[in-house]
Structure 1
Amino acid sequence: MQSEITNEKASEDPTFQVVEVTRSNIPDLLNWPKTGWHGHYHWPNTSEGVNSSTIRSGDRVTITIWDSQDHSLITNPGQNYTVIDNVEVDGGGSIFLPYVNKVRVRGLTADGARKKIQSRLDPIVPSAQVQVSLRQGRDHAVDVVGGVAKPGSYPMPSRNYKVLNVLADAGGIPPGLRNPRVRLLRGSKTYEISSELLLADGSKNALLHPRDTIVVEQDDRSFVAFGASGKEDLIYFPKDHLTALEAMSLMGGLSDTRADPKGVLILREYSAEDLSTATVGPTLQQVVFTFDLTDADGLFAARKFEVSPGDTVLATESPVNNLRTIFSLFGSILGLSAQSAALSR
């Protein structure tokens, strides 16, 4: 029963806090610390990059040099071109070319590198023409790990490569995943968003950086349904945010014969860091939120109050049901007594 759980609020030294949820205190409760969430749930908004790829350390370039002059320094007899294949850009951002020594190409596009190499060759081979092709290394790629049809490493075709681009290249998100979450790992930071919000809002299509990692997983956030409800189970969040009224619906509603509509409780535990001496916030780590669903005020409050991952939603037993149980037991005892009296005659 509700009273068996909440009576401690009248104690001189209560070990948990009891908060009745109403329309009047909902604005304050929505500003209380969030519990049960993991990772960093902010997400970078989109921005625009350039549509051409730039050369980075670890990339490989192939340089073709054309020279129609006889007895050229850079071509073999009978040929009018030479190919310097698969040259890796070193840690300093340079490549080595014969007769020229090192040429710094990091940060340039393939066309910019071509122009720079040709200008360095002019004093040696004035008639030479240069062609440069780029093959990007792992430092210019994005990894997609799990939750897609084709996980793997994807080279960035340009600096304007975005999250939805790489998810499409990776075969998309399978339809069977429960409320899929897209997680972006960038250095020491983690960002997370639901696929539904990512697809619905173009501003969330974040620009990718080299070495980013994308992980797609189904939503593992859940709450516990307990007591006089249609279902007692671990229930997963089907969407980003879940209200108390929606949680009760997922629980199968309240039992008509057992539940107390004045005694719906949500049990939540806060960390020590969440405790606040200010006017807004919990005063004890363990909090019981109570709802009275017999009037409009309680129903509207339940529509606004958000369930947190790890909460326990408890439908308490009706006092009337307990009386019925007592009367039933009383009747059983009286019946047994009558049978004993009859047998003793």
Structure 2
Amino acid sequence: MPRGAGFQSEVLAASNLSSREEGEALIYDFAVFDVTKDTLPVLQSWPRRDVESLPWITNQEQPASLIIAPGDQVTLTVWDAEDNSLLAGTGQRATPLQQTQVSTTGRIFVPYIGELQVAGMSPDTARSRIEEELIRTIPSAQVQLVVEAGRQNTANLVTGAAAPGLYQLPDRNFKILDLLSLAGGANPALINPQVRLVRNGRTYGVALDRLLAEPNLDAALQGGDRVMLIGDDRQFVSLGATGVEAVHDFPSQNVTALEAMAIVGGVSDARANPQGILILREYDSGEVRQDQSGPPQERVVFTIDLTSADGLFSAGNFLLEDKDLVYGTESPLGPALTAVGLINTVSTLSNQL
């Protein structure tokens, strides 16, 4: 009878054998592992081809103040209580000075002082330094300083948020989630959003869900950082006697085999063999190991029994990976039931004639 899937014995049998010279034994070109309580510790220790293979940086609390950098715009206002002020006009007490940009060497020009180094200082430290120098010429001078951040004190939210763009870093403790909050959060169309941070030519990555769940990963931004939100591009395929045959996105960072069965609609009640759920996976040749620290061959088939408590519990702890194939094998009773159905149909038609 026609079938939509193979039997478990067929999938794991001769069609997948690699032959040698005549007379020599045939060898499998794949390994088979039952997913059980006993095998899980070994299987979970194998390398994962996961989006989190990128490194990430943990948060280190920084002082709240901003650090002045080249390219920042500095505005000074000098207050002077003297009647004959060198800066203020008659009857004036405050003199706003023209906004000036911090040079590439980190300096600004201040009247009666000249070039003064301010880059690398907090605004309060720079203000005190300018006031200290200015008092030598204007004894009652008091200085007010305002900094407008330049590119070296901004972060670029490139894509994936409601409002991407350049954002000023108000202080050194401005974190990634602060930036995403200002930008309106992640685009709801993204599946399992992934955060990418590019800093000093190096790329870091973490899942947004994990960033939200683990506060120590919410790192402080630095001037010049580029942040991107992208969708999770991992997928798995379901075929055979599963509820649906399709390509599926990973809806979350970790998807277990049991969750995958729910995503694909379980198995076909009339056709499937619930004891023969197979997960087919290919590893890179460099990941092959012979000491149980990795797969013994590049091709591995994991078998799951959904009719036993151990199989169900173990499936709930076995994680799917990118490009896995979830295959529901056919029950041996399926063709027989189909044949019986056809006979009954033919019999009914004959009786009607």
TM-score range, shorter chain: 0.7 to 0.9
CA distance in 1, matches of 2:259, 2:52: 25
Which of 161, 171, 181 is equivalent to 1:158?
Answer: 171
Q: Which amino acid aligns with 2:31?
A: Q
Q: Which residue of 2 aligns with 1:221?
A: 234
CA distance in 2, matches of 1:247, 1:42: 27
Q: Which residue of 1 aligns with 2:42?
A: 28
**Partner SS for 2:98:** strand
Which of 49, 61, 66 is equivalent to 2:79?
Answer: 66
Matches within 5 A, 1:144-293: 144-175=157-188, 177-293=190-306
Q: Which residue of 1 aligns with 2:4?
A: none
Q: CA deviation at 1:142?
A: 1.7
Aligned pair 1:88/2:94, yes or no?
A: no
Q: Which moved more, 1:167-176 or 1:145-154?
A: 167-176
Q: For the Cα contact (< 8 Å) 1:40–1:191, is it kept in 2? A: no
Q: Which amino acid aligns with 2:249?
A: Y
Q: Deviations over 1:240-299 (max 9, x none)?
A: 211111111111011111111222111111112212232221122121112222323322
CA distance in 2, matches of 1:230, 1:308: 20
Aligned pair 1:6/2:6, yes or no?
A: no
Q: Deviations over 1:91-132 (max 9, x none)?
A: 222112344232111121222111111222233333433221
Q: CA deviation at 1:171?
A: 1.9
Q: CA deviation at 1:172?
A: 2.5
CA distance in 2, matches of 1:279, 1:312: 22
Structure 1: 5+ residue runs without aligned partners?
A: 336-345
CA RMSD across the alignment: 2.9
CA distance in 2, matches of 1:93, 1:193: 34
Q: For the Cα contact (< 8 Å) 1:40–1:190, is it kept in 2? A: no
**Partner SS for 2:74:** strand
Q: Which moved more, 1:318-327 or 1:111-120?
A: 318-327
Q: Which amino acid aligns with 1:295?
A: S
Q: Which amino acid aligns with 1:34?
A: R
Q: Which amino acid aligns with 2:300?
A: V
Q: CA deviation at 1:318?
A: 1.8
Q: For the Cα contact (< 8 Å) 1:198–1:204, is it kept in 2? A: yes
Q: Deviations over 1:47-83 (max 9, x none)?
A: 3211121211111101223345566554567755543
**Partner SS for 1:85:** coil
Q: Deviations over 1:214-242 (max 9, x none)?
A: 22233332211111111111111222211
CA distance in 1, matches of 2:132, 2:288: 66
Counterparts in 2 of 1:205 and 1:100: CA distance versus 1, 3 Å? same
Q: Percent identity?
A: 41
Aligned pair 1:295/2:305, yes or no?
A: no
TM-score (norm 1): 0.85
Which of 1, 7, 19 is equivalent to 2:33?
Answer: 19
**Partner SS for 2:97:** strand
Aligned pair 1:54/2:79, yes or no?
A: no
CA distance in 2, matches of 1:260, 1:39: 34
Q: Which moved more, 1:10-19 or 1:161-170?
A: 10-19
TM-score (norm 2): 0.83
Q: Which amino acid aligns with 1:167?
A: L
Q: Which moved more, 1:221-230 or 1:44-53?
A: 44-53
